[in-house]
Structure 1
Amino acid sequence: MIRKTIFTVMVLLTCFTSFSFGQATPATNSADILLRLKKLKTLGNVLYFAAHPDDENTRLIAYLSKENLYRTGYLSLTRGDGGQNLIGNEQAELLGAIRTQELLAARRIDGGEQFFTRANDFGFCKNPEEAFRIWNKEQVLADAVWVIRNFKPDVIICRFPADSRAGHGHHTASAMIAAEAFEAAANPKMFPGQLKYVGTWQAKRLLWNTFNFGGNNTIKPDQFKLNVGAYNYLLGKGYGEIAAESRSQHKSQGFGVAATRGASYEYFATIKGDQPKESLMDGIVTDMSQSRDGSSIGKQVQSIIDNYNAQDPAASIPALIAVKKALQQLDNRVAWKTQKLKAMDEIIMACAGVWMEAYSNQPMYSPGQTLDGKIDIINRGNASVTLKSIGWDSKDSSLNMLLPTNEYISFNKNYSIPNNAQFTNPYWLNAEHPVGMYVVNRQELIGKPWNDPALTAHYHLEIAGESFDIVRPVSYKYTDPVKGEVYEPLIFAPPVVANIADPVYIFTGKAPQKIPVKLKATAAAVKGTVTLHVPKGYSIQQATQSFNIGLKNGEQDVYFDVISTGVGSNNTGEFTLTINVDHQEFDRSLTIINYDHIPKITLFPLAQGKLVTVNLKHDGNKIGYIPGAGDKVAESLRQVGYQVDILSDADIMSGNLQQYDAIITGVRAYNTQGRMPIWQPKLMDFVKGGGTLLVQYNVNSRLKMNELGPYPFQITRDRVTDEKAPVTLQDATNLAFNYPNKITPSDFDGWIQERGLYFTGNADPKYAKLFTMSDPDENDLDGATIVTNYGKGKYVYTSLSFFRQLPAGVPGAYRLFVNLISKLPGKNIANGQ
């Protein structure tokens, strides 16, 4: 079971690599050291290229990284922000942060590295033209070129073709971008500003990793193929097993998969460059021994491998130090020099058995505070290791200490956090952004999966006369009575943050609403004022209030009374909060996302929200809600005055369901709730007895049952992705459009991301189809919402994306949703007059 709790310093990022939060010295064993040695003498980089988290072929990445021992990366154009969440209710940017960390968790298993562009996943789209209308294609291409020029792939592999067989506009767009970037990365006239940091780069070939899934077979017998089903004795696993572990990290998408074992083939079509015949790397030197620059070094490494003693890895240290010195003598223009030197230092530390970590005594500090922490080290091997100095960042303390064997040494060290230290926040979320693209203004940040750590510890060591500078992230470490030792990222925070109880406040009458704000101090003795700024159409009593919080991590609640001055019409506007402390202004809130399978994520979004006035009437008051994959519809309905009870198994099986005016199933409930087949007769009896049942969208695979309604219908893959697509009311006189609110096409104004998804099809004639709509240049679809009477009650199935619209405060979505769950006046005829 996934456990979750809900509650953002950036430094100059100089290494183009992934970072694992909470990581001390990476755990190694003798087999792992041997694999690292083999990888050290192997050359060749492969970059896998697609659009989203989960698009990557984890089996192929694991095979290339751990069997062929190539440096392997995955470039995902987006962070998956526009998808659905099967483990919680986070959406949009918060979901993108979760999926970023899930990708990093996957890469830690399959051995790949992770990269991104600034493209924002705005949801499903049907063709690349739509993708490039919303994305800034030039920026996405520039980012892909930047990643290629840094990573220097010899081979680039696309997951998808550049045509409709890709099945998603983003997929097709990723293949198109890959083909353009393949050429552009080698052209000095393309994005010349990047050349201040990197040189041009020409990959040898661009391939398409063809596939046979989803009823689409793109494999041909004459294509180049690889058997990636090998078994690795050093790992004790085959690549189908490693791939399953890696892919199963995509938990927010419900992508846990079973391991596969035995022979398995991947096929490739050549898009650019010459076609491979014997190996993906045909024509590319992949053995350092055969390289002009590394011939003698490769032979030295091979000798170390041949003489490696798994019982005594430290015996290899003198020869490894000789290799390090030889690497240092290489010309800096050798593409792989820096990477191999970095790998060499970690191999030597592993052979020596030196373990290091640094941690703070508290998880969160604000600028100007003093951090109390420890810097620890132990020499667990038999090599002679001298600790010359330690310190935070560049502030070192000289020691010149010979480390005794297997004796744990811990140094208490304080660190004064600079007053100008930036707050920890995912770098791509620091600035507000338009739909389609994140705003990142520093070239060095482009492509990075996450921030570098807020603070690092530096160890200056000497082994056999050779100097080593080792860097470790500073984490917060504590012991949990259930989980044991837990590491979390160290966070730098504003001295005070303002958390707003709800992101959206809905006004349906003239009565004032209290907006509660919880102020939390990250420092002691924080006092000042907090001001709420409201948009036109709203007034506020006492907009500025004082606060005084004595204790660090202390809290104080303040309340603002807000009145809508435009009751009777629809109106939407943003409100903001500013906090003044010692003549400094802060405007951030705090969000913490905590799941067991990824590191804790801390963000500092702007302290802001929406005020929405809705011309809304509603009939009925008491709602039962059956949770699905995770949404905020229940909270949204409470905003407009409904009592919403979350229904348990006992409530459904033995409770009094007739006490509810309506029962609603959460998104994908019939995909995720294993008890739905048992509950369904009870729900149908509820409708027969006069209740209203509204079922929100489900996907057409992995349904727990096939008969979702009282009469047959199917769930298709049809959808309308254009949130501005015209909507036609099939019968404007239908009571569903007239009670208790008069619905018109204008109620679809202001919708976000999409109209709906997984529409119904082949519905029994007893259902009324309420709408027709379509994406540009496509046929009208009539399966967005169907409704029928059943017994004395009403059944509604809707594929409209209310789960996005209601939390976003779309007025017309509230009006329509309330109509769908309301009982009809005088008679219960779902499609009557």
Structure 2
Amino acid sequence: GFGRLSTRGSQNEYVELLKGMPLEKMNPNDNPDVFAGIDVTWNRVAGGKAIARILEAIESDFNFKNPSTHLPDLMKALRMIEALEDEHWSDVKTKEIKKIIEACAGLYLEVSADGPTASPGSAVALAIEALNRQADNIVLKSYKVTTEPNSKVMELALETNRRENLRDTITIPSNLKNTAPYWLNSKGTLGMYKVNDQQLIGQPETPRSMKVLFKLEVAGQPLEISKDVVYRYSKPDEGELYRPFEILPEVTAHLGKEVYIFDSDKQQDVEVIVRAGRSNLEGTVSMAYPQGWSVHPGMQKVSIAQQGDTETLIFTVIPPKDQSEGLLTPMVEVNNTFYTRELVEIDYDHIPFQTVILPSESKIVRIDIIKKGQTIGYIEGAGDAVPESLNNIGYSVIKIKPQDINADLLSQFDAVVVGIRAYNILDELKFKQDLLFDFVEQGGNMIVQYNTSRRLKVDQIAPYPLKLSRDRVTDENAEVRFIDPDHPLLNYPNKIEPSDFNGWVQERGLYFPGEWSEEFTPILSLNDPGESPKEGSLLVAKHGKGHYIYTGLSFFREFPEGVPGAYRLFANMLSIGKDNINLDKKLTD
């Protein structure tokens, strides 16, 4: 997506009636209204009129100086809501009116743990705070931690503005489920989550498994209020902060990278980072890997003293001789139980802190690839992982700042690659185009990845006429047809087959050129189902001794996912015209 300016004030939304009864009018002189005829009052609930009379009376004569004077009437309304035959509205409105009662009473209840996380079987210290800031008739009868078998009877009168601090220590049950977003508990399909409990659908968070149920007496009436256990802490620059209390496995592990690329049969060292979910963790770590691969050593011991600390282990992965791919999974054994999950923390200021427990696995890919050319200059655009990905298959990639571009600098490179949308965001490139085209003319290769037609910083993006369009292919499995199967881009130094377009992710490409001059040769033809063929995804033009290539193919998406065919095709793009040139260039100081 792209950022855009916000709009203030009212805006009209237009609705067209496709099916159903004609729209009614709220009033005779009004336009038809989609909400006309829909009763949103208490009248739609059997027994709701009496409740409405109580609440309307409170609203019309609300005591802002002392809201607790309304507690008797609010408690009466609560009893009536609890007695409704309509279970849905009874449940919804019971929760809502309890919040109103808490607010009018000035009642504050909080349960905070001594740490942000705990694992099953571990002890947790709880700090319970109860404060009545206004009412004079509230009694804390008891409280019960939902994971404990028994309640703690208190019979504690909550005097006005006197804080009551209680302490308790509990043990997390060994069978308590880990905290995780409910939509990620089961493996879904493309574009669809799998949720076994249908009642959870639509909730922003998974209901917490550990709560504290307070039983109180308010205005002579019983009241039950449930509170999640939280973690309360402070930072010098932010003050008091809260985050949810999480139940996590006693150990998790993850690999140093999501994808490991092997462009030869040379071994690589792989980091395994083990995190302790409890103190005094002892265990062993081994690896699961595909057939034909090898990992050494077979097992290593791990010992972590403090909860939350990590230990990093190094394993050596040896790929097979031929092209292969699969998954590498760390397995941690603790007390005869194997753990194969990793902990992902989601921490942003605008949403609650969350943890996600996911399968711990990284993709390992042995690519059968030949490269011609070694030193690549990369002009970064809007941001992508292409430079790191090319480094992973043995290229020497040097990032170039546009203001530093000159003929001497460019002469050190076999090819120059321009990052995604660079011509949309880098003003300096308008002054460097001639230098880049001269580099191509002298025998270099220049590869430009996708840009949008709007807000281009240059009048001419290529050495020959080329007009960008909004053409794209969103189906990552769309058929790819070779326009000229004998073209060097499809044959040298790697023979590109239709199978090289298997396993692509998210899309084939975007913002393809729609028009180009005769100097360009289109290489591929592809389209989404039901659409016309698009031939602008990969264009190449000979320019002097070198080649200029423009591509809208989504290499920036495929490389991080370790798609072998994307690497092989890009290697051909970097290698074009290099079969008779000495490519062992070295960077000069």
Matches within 5 A, 1:424-823: 424-567=179-322, 570-628=323-381, 630-645=383-398, 656=409, 659-669=412-422, 673=425, 676-682=426-432, 685-690=435-440, 691-699=444-452, 708-789=461-542, 794-822=547-575
Do residues 324 (structure 1) and 78 (structure 2) align? Answer: yes
Gaps of 5+ in 1: 1-252, 829-833
Do residues 412 (structure 1) and 167 (structure 2) align? Answer: yes
2:248 aligned partner, one-letter code: A
Judging changes above 3 Å, is the alpha-carbon distance between structure 1 residues 273 and 334 closer, same or farther for their aligned structure 2 residues?
farther
Structure-1 residue corresponding to 2:60: 306
SS of the residue 2:252 aligns to: strand
1:259 aligned partner, one-letter code: T
SS of the residue 2:25 aligns to: coil
**Is the 1:617–1:740 contact (alpha carbons within 8 Å) kept by the matching residues of 2?**
yes
Once residues 588 and 549 of structure 1 are traced to their aligned partners in structure 2, the CA distance between those partners, rounded to angstroms, is 17
Once residues 405 and 291 of structure 1 are traced to their aligned partners in structure 2, the CA distance between those partners, rounded to angstroms, is 37
SS of the residue 1:611 aligns to: strand
**Is the 1:538–1:566 contact (alpha carbons within 8 Å) kept by the matching residues of 2?**
no
Once residues 539 and 335 of structure 1 are traced to their aligned partners in structure 2, the CA distance between those partners, rounded to angstroms, is 57
Higher mean alpha-carbon deviation, 757-766 vs 585-594, is at 757-766
Whichever structure has more strand as a proportion of its residues is: 2
Once residues 472 and 705 of structure 1 are traced to their aligned partners in structure 2, the CA distance between those partners, rounded to angstroms, is 59
SS of the residue 2:50 aligns to: helix
**Is the 1:357–1:377 contact (alpha carbons within 8 Å) kept by the matching residues of 2?**
yes
2:81 aligned partner, one-letter code: L
Query: Cα deviations across residues 492-527 of structure 1 (Å, max 9, x unaligned)?
Result: 222221111122222222221222211121212222
SS of the residue 1:612 aligns to: strand
SS of the residue 2:173 aligns to: coil
Do residues 297 (structure 1) and 51 (structure 2) align? Answer: yes
2:298 aligned partner, one-letter code: A
Query: Cα deviations across residues 653-676 of structure 1 (Å, max 9, x unaligned)?
Result: 9995655544444444555x4xx1
**Is the 1:367–1:420 contact (alpha carbons within 8 Å) kept by the matching residues of 2?**
yes
Query: Cα deviations across residues 764-816 of structure 1 (Å, max 9, x unaligned)?
Result: 44333221112334321111122335576544332212223222221111111
Once residues 15 and 68 of structure 2 are traced to their aligned partners in structure 1, the CA distance between those partners, rounded to angstroms, is 42
Counterpart selection for 1:272 from 6, 16, 20: 20
Query: Cα deviations across residues 657-698 of structure 1 (Å, max 9, x unaligned)?
Result: 655544444444555x4xx12344336524432454433334
1:681 aligned partner, one-letter code: F
Do residues 347 (structure 1) and 97 (structure 2) align? Answer: no
Matches within 5 A, 1:132-281: 253-254=1-2, 257-262=5-10, 264=12, 266-278=14-26, 279-281=33-35
1:313 aligned partner, one-letter code: P
Give the length in aligned residue pairs. Answer: 570
Judging changes above 3 Å, is the alpha-carbon distance between structure 1 residues 748 and 262 closer, same or farther for their aligned structure 2 residues?
closer
RMSD: 3.1
Judging changes above 3 Å, is the alpha-carbon distance between structure 1 residues 720 and 341 closer, same or farther for their aligned structure 2 residues?
same
TM-score (norm 1): 0.63
Identical columns (%): 35
Structure-1 residue corresponding to 2:584: none
Once residues 405 and 397 of structure 2 are traced to their aligned partners in structure 1, the CA distance between those partners, rounded to angstroms, is 14
Q: CA shift at 1:343, angstroms?
A: 0.9
Once residues 196 and 34 of structure 2 are traced to their aligned partners in structure 1, the CA distance between those partners, rounded to angstroms, is 36
Structure label with greater radius of gyration? 2
**Is the 1:653–1:679 contact (alpha carbons within 8 Å) kept by the matching residues of 2?**
no
Do residues 285 (structure 1) and 39 (structure 2) align? Answer: yes
**Is the 1:688–1:790 contact (alpha carbons within 8 Å) kept by the matching residues of 2?**
no
Query: Cα deviations across residues 423-469 of structure 1 (Å, max 9, x unaligned)?
Result: 22222323334435433334444444431124223332222012222
Query: Cα deviations across residues 682-719 of structure 1 (Å, max 9, x unaligned)?
Result: 36524432454433334556666775444453443322
SS of the residue 1:595 aligns to: coil
**Is the 2:147–2:210 contact (alpha carbons within 8 Å) kept by the matching residues of 1?**
no
1:697 aligned partner, one-letter code: Y
SS of the residue 2:142 aligns to: strand
Query: Cα deviations across residues 23-75 of structure 1 (Å, max 9, x unaligned)?
Result: xxxxxxxxxxxxxxxxxxxxxxxxxxxxxxxxxxxxxxxxxxxxxxxxxxxxx
Once residues 388 and 556 of structure 1 are traced to their aligned partners in structure 2, the CA distance between those partners, rounded to angstroms, is 47
TM-score (norm 2): 0.87
SS of the residue 1:618 aligns to: coil
Once residues 407 and 98 of structure 2 are traced to their aligned partners in structure 1, the CA distance between those partners, rounded to angstroms, is 65
**Is the 1:652–1:679 contact (alpha carbons within 8 Å) kept by the matching residues of 2?**
no
